[in-house]
Structure 1
Amino acid sequence: MYIYNVTTNIEETAEANWLLWMKEEHIPEMLATGKFSNAIMTKVLVEEEMGGTTYSVQYFTKDKDTLKRYYAEDADALRSKALKKFANKMVSFRTELEIVSEH
């Protein structure tokens, strides 16, 4: 199992709109690709020097090949929606994680 983690710092002025958009539009669109089984959104509890609030969304997928298909088929379109809607209000970085064990 793999996790596609997207960490985003969002300006306070856009945070409420961004959260609503993430919950009602973006995360459902990500899941609708059929490439992720579920998603978890968390708030990072460390204060950032640059300000804003940081969130992490973890999308669970069965294997690396499915994640590669997401990149090839869906990533550009979904990312561009976020950039159009919240340009200059957010910064994101992505991490791929492999689950080694669960207890």
Structure 2
Amino acid sequence: MILYNETLSIDNTVADEWLQWMQEVHIPAVMGTGYFLGNQISRLMHEVANDGTTYAVQYTCRSLEDLEEYQREHAPEIDLRHHTRYQGKYVVFRSMLEVVARDVERKGGE
């Protein structure tokens, strides 16, 4: 399983509207491509004092091949809509992670 992560700092002047747009427009468009199994948005709890709010938007997919095909076939158009709407109001860092274990439980006393 592959986790595609976009860590994004969004200007506070548009952060609330951005979050709503992500949930109502952007993420449904990404999920509508059929390449991803799930998604989540997390907010950084201990923000550095600046004019932005940091979020991690994460998508899970079956394979690196699926992610690479999404990036070739769909990401340029979807990302352009985001960039056009929020140009100059965000900074993004993207990463791909291989999930090597999930829901690991704590053993007693260790």
TM normalised by structure 1 equals 0.95
Q: Where does structure 2 lack aligned partners over 5 or more consecutive residues? A: 105-110
Q: Percent identity?
A: 35
Count of aligned pairs between the two proteins: 103
* Counterpart-to-counterpart distance in 1, 2:5 and 2:27: 12
* Counterpart-to-counterpart distance in 2, 1:33 and 1:44: 27
Aligned to 1:82: 82
Question: What is the Cα deviation at residue 45 of structure 1?
Answer: 1.4
Q: Where does structure 1 lack aligned partners over 5 or more consecutive residues? A: none
Q: How does 1:12-51 map to 2 (within 5 A)?
A: 12-51=12-51
* Counterpart-to-counterpart distance in 2, 1:92 and 1:57: 10
Q: CA RMSD in A?
A: 1.0
SS in 2 for 1:26: helix
Aligned to 2:67: 67
* Counterpart-to-counterpart distance in 1, 2:64 and 2:13: 36
Larger Rg: 2
Aligned to 2:108: none
Question: What is the Cα deviation at residue 36 of structure 1?
Answer: 0.3
